[in-house]
Amino acid sequence: KNEVEQSPQNLTAQEGEFITINCSYSVGISALHWLQQHPGGGIVSLFMLSSGKKKHGRLIATINIQEKHSSLHITASHPRDSAVYICAVSPRSTGNQFYFGTGTSLTVIP
């Protein structure tokens, strides 16, 4: 069983829709990261969270440490948001290593 579980695995949305991607983890963490991977392969860090909520443009990330759960929301989705979104956690026990989810593949249709 993976320490980080994401849902859904695949998501198709119409342009303008509100999107939510969920991440649950099973270990104690020092931080949780949301990453974006475009079809070219490169990965970009969107958020690093250790508590509460962060907002950047149309993206919002929340985390509930007690429930070991995080969500990534995209408001007013756009075709350029199409990418794979990966949740990763920094376990308290392992210093600079991560556990990764398998990713959520998002396609936004015009």
* Positions that interact with other proteins (CB under 8 A): 2, 4, 30-31, 33, 35, 40-45, 48, 86, 88, 90, 95-103
Q: In what order do the strands lie in the sheet with 69-74?
A: 4-7, 19-25, 69-74, 59-64, 52-56
Comparing CB distances to other proteins, the nearer of 36 and 77 is 36
Comparing CB distances to other proteins, the nearer of 19 and 98 is 98
Comparing CB distances to other proteins, the nearer of 68 and 99 is 99
DSSP letter string over 41-83? --EEEEEEESSEEEEETTEEEEEETTTTEEEEEESS--GGG-E
Q: Which two tokens stand for residue 110?
A: 């015009």
Query: At its nearest, how many Å lie between other proteins and the CB of residue 25?
Result: 12
Give the type of residue at 70: S
Query: At its nearest, how many Å lie between other proteins and the CB of residue 103?
Result: 8
Comparing CB distances to other proteins, the nearer of 19 and 35 is 35
Query: At its nearest, how many Å lie between other proteins and the CB of residue 50?
Result: 10
Q: What phi, psi does 17 have (nearest 5°)? A: -70, 155
